[in-house]
Amino acid sequence: MSATELPLIGDYTTPVPELNGARIGVITFPGTLDDRDAARAIRLTGAEAVSLWHADHDLQNVDAVVIPGGFSYGDYLRAGAIARFAPMMGNIIDAANSDAKLPVLGICNGFQILTESHLLPGSMVKNDHLKFLCRDQILRVENNTTAWTNQYGLGEEITIVLKNQDGQYVADEKTLDALEAEGRVAFSYVGWNPNGSRRNIAGITNAAGNVVGLMPHPEHAVEAGFGPDHTGTDGLGFFTSVLTHLVGGQK
């Protein structure tokens, strides 16, 4: 199997001797859907994707973690509410809050899990139009200093995939004011607000910039021919950003 091919079945962690670079974990819960896509995005940027199983405790010395999209545990109680208590999440929360400040990216259901974990403030509720919506979405980069956004320009507009049912970001006014004042809004929706999110917020970061969550999917915009409009690759910047961050690179 080559360095970039994903097997049809089972774990995708395969030691790739030629890559002595970063190891980025992708956590899989029962009901996770986009783990294989996140692993592909990581591989396309030259790092090694490491399967993390929700029930394990071992972070396997990964340098960063992606919490991918899906419907963890069916999301029957509230999106992300059960996943937050998975054993592996305990390790991730500790590592994100530690001095080492493990970079963590939460995409869609991953973002919901991060708010449930209190690594990020606010919450997501059902889209204001009450329907699942899949579309190519334009975002504006509002903070390009985080571990996951440093390869974008400030104010740059990128097109990635939006697809969710519970994507409306909500928080109290005080929190929203603080997020804006502290530059912790990482991405905002450009044009039509696709789900009623407060202040057009698509994604946010913690104060340290190591934890980022957003509803749209950068991992679906990494290969020409398979992304937005069958051409877009604007999502690659998330994954090159974290690699740059890990080697201590400055913009």
Assess 20 for contact with another protein (CB under 8 A): no
- Which candidate in 48, 116, 142, 219 is catalytic? 219
User: Is the Cβ of residue 66 or residue 185 nearer to another protein in the bound state?
Assistant: 66
- Residue selected from 132, 154, 192, 251 as contacting another protein according to rule CB under 8 A: 132
Beta bridge partners of 163: 134
Q: How many residues does the chain have?
A: 251
- Which candidate in 54, 217, 220, 245 is catalytic? 217
**219 catalytic residue (yes or no):** yes
Q: Hey, what amino acid is at 12?
A: Y
Task: Please give the backbone phi and psi of residue 106, each rounded to the nearest 5 degrees, phi first.
Answer: -110, 120
User: Is the Cβ of residue 75 or residue 116 nearer to another protein in the bound state?
Assistant: 75
Task: Please give the backbone phi and psi of residue 95, each rounded to the nearest 5 degrees, phi first.
Answer: -65, -35
**116 catalytic residue (yes or no):** no
Residue with tokens 């399967």: 51
Please enumerate in sequence order all residues whose Cβ is within 8 A of that of 199, keeping only pairs 6 or more positions apart, or say none: 176, 180, 185, 188
Q: Please, which of residues 138-197 interact with another protein by CB under 8 A?
A: 161, 163, 165
Q: Are strands 157-164 and 201-205 parallel, antiparallel or unpaired?
A: unpaired
Helices (H), the chain: 35-44, 87-97, 109-116, 173-181, 236-246
Assess 30 for contact with another protein (CB under 8 A): yes
- Residue selected from 33, 81, 170, 246 as contacting another protein according to rule CB under 8 A: 33
Residues that bind another protein (CB under 8 A): 2, 4-6, 8-10, 30-31, 33-34, 36-37, 40, 70-71, 73-76, 131-135, 161, 163, 165, 217, 219-220, 222-223, 225-227, 229-230
